[in-house]
Amino acid sequence: MVAARARARAAPAAICASGPEGGEQACDKGWERSGSRLCCKRNITDFFKARHFEELFPRRNDTIAHAAGFWDYPAFIAAAALFEPRGFGTTGGKEMGVREVAAFLAHVGASTSCGRFYPNPMAWGLCYKREMSPYQNFYCDDSNELYRCVEGLQYYGRGGEALFLFTGQANISLSLLSNYNYGIIGKGIKQDLLSHPELLQQNATLAFEAAIWRWMTPVKWRQPSAHDAFVGNWKPSKNDPLSKRYPGFGTTMNIMRGDRICGQGFTDEMNNTISHYIYYLGLMGVNHEHSGRSLDCADQVVFNPSSKSLGS
């Protein structure tokens, strides 16, 4: 028994399929596992520093920002670290990691922007942490029996993206929020958001965690997550090209935003999200020529029309 334990302790480290510079690298710490396609030693802080966060969101603490003092770099990094083992920012080489973080934060920035203030309308991401004008009985869907509303609580938009799909206006449909989505995302991040929805506007790490969980998790079985659609893990079926859906940033908008911005031509909201992505890439040192293919979703058929809730 002792010998067996000794052999187990002496087992060679797992080997990553791709190291930071390409080639193989032994895993000797962290979240390594045999056969991993991820680089065990690399994490987001290797390429995304506090100065990048400040450059991406320079006006978030402005006097007119509704969430001044809430969002910060440590909160994002703490949340991101929970998903690095699943490949968030760690799939592929360094450039892919940079591109994925920029893509994710582009969704967050576009969704939480104060508006298009000049001279730089892309500088106002993370201005909000909650919906300012909730309506529809605070999005309580009484017909959902799996995640029932808690009496007296409100399920309007909060956080960074997952439960905050709006641009400062109360024009969001019930299907994009509601108790069901608080319930399923809360289950995913192991927090009772049904009973404590306010956590997403009190704890920035949890708000980022909920948003990254949404990025990493398919809405439905046999559909890709935004992560998989972006990094190339998703292999489209024969029907996807017929629906104009291809791996890339455009399909992440389809997954994250649905028919709010996709399948309606080149709308301002879709173009604004793409602009955030390209702008963030530049600030992080990646030329727009390396932004990837299939940037838009103008002609895509949406995976989940807005009459459906997440996973329902």
Q: Is 118 helix (H, G, I), strand (E, B) or coil?
A: coil
Q: Supply the pLDDT for residue 133.
A: 56
**To which residue do tokens 């990553």 refer?**
16
pLDDT tens profile 161-178: 544 443 222 233 333 457
Q: Which two tokens stand for residue 252?
A: 């992440």
The C-alpha angle 124, 194, 212, rounded to 5 degrees, equals: 40
How deeply is 143 buried, as exposed, middle or buried, from its count of CB atoms within 10 A (0-12, 13-18, 19+)? exposed
pLDDT of 138: 58
Q: By three-state DSSP, how is residue 16 classified?
A: strand
pTM (two decimals): 0.81
pLDDT of residue 305: 85
User: Helix crossing, 94-111 with 204-216: angle to 10°?
Assistant: 120
Which residue, chain included where needed, has tokens 């999200």?
273
Per-residue model confidence (pLDDT) at position 178? 76
| Residues in the chain with pLDDT values less than 50 | 1-39, 136-137, 162-176, 308-312
Q: How many residues does the chain have?
A: 312
d(CA 94, CA 76): 19
Distance (Å, rounded) from C-alpha 217 to C-alpha 208? 14
Domains of the chain by start residue, with CATH: 1-41 (no CATH), 43-130+204-290 (1.10.530.10)
220 backbone dihedrals φ, ψ, rounded to 5°: -140, 160
Q: How crowded is residue 300: how many other Cβ atoms within 10 Å of its Cβ?
A: 21
- Side chain identity at 240, as an amino acid letter? D
Q: Residue 143: what pLDDT? A: 75
Q: How many CB atoms lie within 10 A of CB 55?
A: 14
Question: What one-character DSSP code corresponds to residue 87?
Answer: T
**Residues 284, 84, 237, CA angle at the centre, nearest 5°?**
90
